[in-house]
Amino acid sequence: MFFSTPHPMGLGRLYWLVIGLLTLGILAFPGRHFFVNAWKNLKHHQANMDTLVAMGTGTAWLYSMAVVLFAPWLPDVAQGIYFEASAMVIGLILLGNALELRARGRTSNALKRLLDLQSRTARVIRDGHEQEIEIDAVRAGDHVRVRPGERLPVDGQVMEGQSHIDESMLTGEPLPVAKHVGDEVSAGTVNGRGGLVYQATRVGTDTRLGQITEQVASAQNSRPPIGELADQVSSVFVPSVMIIAVLTALLWFNLGPVPQVIHMLVTATTVLIIACPCALGLATPISTMIGVGKRQSTVLVRSGEALQTASKLTTLVVDKTGTLTQGKPSVTDAQLFGVEQSTALSLVHALERGSEHPLAAALMNYAQENDAPVADIAHFDSVTGGGVKAQTPDGKALLLGNARLLKEAGVDLNAGKDQARALEEQARTLVYLAVDGKLAALFGVSDPLRHDTVAAIKRLQKTA
């Protein structure tokens, strides 16, 4: 002991009476629900951990208060006081509950971030009139207009226009996805530089975003299987402890020294106090806290079962783009065939200007980094799944895109065959430029690794 406590005699009795009343306050207010639940279980002839906590702490308090009130008439062996045991048991189990609530609070923050992705209003076209209405008023079948840079309010199918949609909040893929007439779009995603009109197909909680939100909300109330195991253990443990306490009392009453009644009460009370499930009450919440960890801002735990299953993982599959890489493609290689660099890049600058495609952005940035001017072109046309084409002012055909686009136009790619093979072996995406039917340039585009990728992979390997 780090400090001494007075004997429950004289002024010492007043000291312990104050301690007892303070402990009663802990039992009656913070610990009240243990006794309420124990009483409900008793009425249904059931017992759980709340029953054991209530019996242990209640018995310890009653016995200790009896010692304080009747200490002069009790033998020394019976003058043990256990107020601190009652307060400590309640405190430790409430600490476990607080840790569990903290873990759920982090899930609440994740839920709030998901709700922030939901638009508050939608621009709907009804009876030929465009009007902005509350998101709850949008109905399936409504035509919704989305302007460049706006967040989509509901799920639907594109009816007019084309654009690139940032779906990273749903898929984790940082590269925008091209959307044309007939394609599906989702609420919470962000429109690029094109305008779209789409027909609402799913609204409210039926949207993909709504379903994800519902999953996160249900995860707050889910428990890991180990929590259910603790309940199963308690269903056997609690009656066993009660039986042991009764047997201990009978044993000391019949075989113990004088005074038998005092020794019976002391030993039975000791069994109940020692058996209070502090460790079991803390084990599940603390394991949940450690499992969720300090990175809940970047990880959504779908359920308690998923969290426990994660401890058995042997293989981790990672989406490369935007996770291991920067998610921003850039030109890493450029091969020229009979043209000046400034000429080739000025044509690329002109052809890719205004395009939302990620590869177009990479080529544009490369041209700007090399201070390439914008060439004059005419008859611009975009080829879906291929690239773009146009003409110079003097009528020369321009093609910029993949190998299929150039081959279909009859362009011979043999001049860059070896370079293309070498770049493909380095996992580069190839973009060809042809001028007047001849291969003019070959660009290798890649998504560079993040600066911390190698270190992160090594940490994962070390942890495994």
Residues noted as catalytic: 319
The secondary structure of 318-362 as a DSSP string is --IIIIIB-S--EEEEEEESSS-HHHHHHHHHHHHTT---HHHHH
Residue 174 vs residues 9, 113, 168, 214, 328: alpha-carbon distances, Å = 74, 18, 5, 24, 8
> What's the longest Cα–Cα distance across the chain?
119
Residue 342 vs residues 347, 367, 372, 392: alpha-carbon distances, Å = 9, 9, 6, 15
- Compute how many other C-beta atoms are within 10 angstroms of the C-beta atom of residue 396: 15
Joined together, the tokens standing for residue 219 give: 């995860």
Beta strands, E only, 55-176: 121-126, 129-134, 143-146, 155-160, 163-166
Residue 154 vs residues 201, 206, 340: alpha-carbon distances, Å = 8, 9, 49
Distance in angstroms (rounded) separating the CA atoms of residues 8 and 67: 8
Distance in angstroms (rounded) separating the CA atoms of residues 215 and 189: 18
Distance in angstroms (rounded) separating the CA atoms of residues 313 and 238: 34
